[in-house]
Amino acid sequence: MAISTNDLKNGMTLDLPEGLCSVVEFQHVKPGKGGAFVRTKLKNLRTGAVVERTYRADEKLEQAIIEKREMQFLYRDGADYVFMDNSSYEQLQVPRTALGDAANFLKEGDAVYLQMYGTEIVGVDLPAAVELSVAETEPGIQGDRVSGARKPATLETGLVVQVPLFVNPGETIRVDTRSGEYLTRA
């Protein structure tokens, strides 16, 4: 679907020769002399690279329609992750590379939104924070209460985060999915 550069919006996805890109920022410029143009900052969804491009006003670009499908994570099958579509009950095997960092926050039974372009997964929408149990960490020592001291903890998904000294193995903690940092005990 062709779209004019005058109709660009932040977050819109475009199918360009460089690949699938999301509009991070755009600015419509109308100089006193000459034709108007649009400066854009685009993020490649596959590589994460950010590029700046300038287009003439009213130039046509190809818009990519990204479909968000609600899926439930069922289980791991070797290196793949198996999801079930909540509307059609179809199962989908997804390689870990397609999920990126989101794989560190997924546990069985979690519901997520997969962003799909055709049959390709281009992103994963996670909640802002998830609750994960601590699989392994050093036990807290009585009297060791230095303000702000941290220790590494391995979570049930294999993710390693820095937690306060009072967190013990088997406890459930909340982790921020955007930064991967400890928030609080659950």
Tens-digit pLDDT profile for residues 52-111: 999 888 889 888 888 888 899 898 888 888 999 888 888 888 888 888 888 888 888 888
What rounded mean pLDDT belongs to the chain? Answer: 86
pLDDT at position 123 is 82
pLDDT at position 39 is 92
More confident residue, 151 or 144: 151
Domain spanning 67-125: CATH superfamily: Nucleic acid-binding proteins (2.40.50.140)
d(CA 9, CA 25): 8
Fold of 2-62: SH3 type barrels. (2.30.30)
More confident residue, 161 or 48: 161
**DSSP per residue, 126-149:** --SEEEEEEEEEPPPPTT---TT-
pLDDT tier at 137 (50, 70, 90 boundaries)? confident
For residue 147, pLDDT over 70 is answered with no
For residue 41, pLDDT over 90 is answered with yes
- Alpha helices (H) along 52-165: 96-99
Confidence (pTM) = 0.71
Fold of 129-185: OB fold (Dihydrolipoamide Acetyltransferase, E2P) (2.40.50)
The torsion angle over the Cα atoms of residues 150, 153, 155 and 160, rounded to 10 degrees, is 80
Number of Cβ atoms within 10 Å of the Cβ of 135: 14
pLDDT tier at 142 (50, 70, 90 boundaries)? low
d(CA 76, CA 69): 19
> CB-based contacts of 51: which residues, under 8 Å, 6+ apart?
18, 21, 41, 42, 44
